[in-house]
Amino acid sequence: MKDDISISVVMPVYNEISTIDKIIAKVASQTLVKQIVAVDDGSTDGTRDALIRLKQTHPKLQVVLQDCNRGKGAALRVGFKHATEPIIIIQDADLEYDPNEYGRLVKPIVNNLADVVFGSRFLGTSEGHRVLYFWHSVGNKVLTILSNAMTNLNLTDMETCYKAFRRDVLDKIELTEDRFGFEPEFTARIAKQRLRVYEVPISYHGRTYTEGKKIGWKDGFRALYCIAKYNLFK
Q: 7-233 in CATH: which number?
A: 3.90.550.10
pTM for this prediction? 0.90
Q: How many CB atoms are closer than 10 A to CB 224?
A: 17
At a CB cut-off of 8 Å and minimum separation 6, what does 209 contact? none
State pLDDT tens for residues 145-191: 999 999 999 999 999 999 999 999 999 999 999 998 999 999 999 99
State pLDDT tens for residues 93-127: 999 999 999 999 999 999 999 999 999 988 866 56
What pLDDT is stored for residue 209 in this prediction? 47
Task: State the number of CA atoms in the 13 A half-sphere of 208 facing the CB.
Answer: 4
**Residue ranges covered by each domain of the chain:** 7-233
Give the integer Cα–Cα distance in Å for 226 and 230: 6
For residues 9 and 87, the answer to whether their CB atoms sit within 8 Å is no
The alpha-helical segments, DSSP class H, found in the chain are 20-28, 47-57, 72-82, 102-110, 134-151, 182-192, 217-228
- Identity at 49, one-letter amino acid code: D
Which DSSP string do the residues of 208-229 spell out, in sequence order? -TTTT----HHHHHHHHHHHHI
Selected residue with higher pLDDT from 215 and 66: 66
For residue 218, what pLDDT band results from cuts at 50, 70 and 90? confident
With CA atoms as reference, report the closest residue to 16 among 69, 83, 67.
Answer: 69
Partners of residue 164 on adjacent β-strands: 89, 117
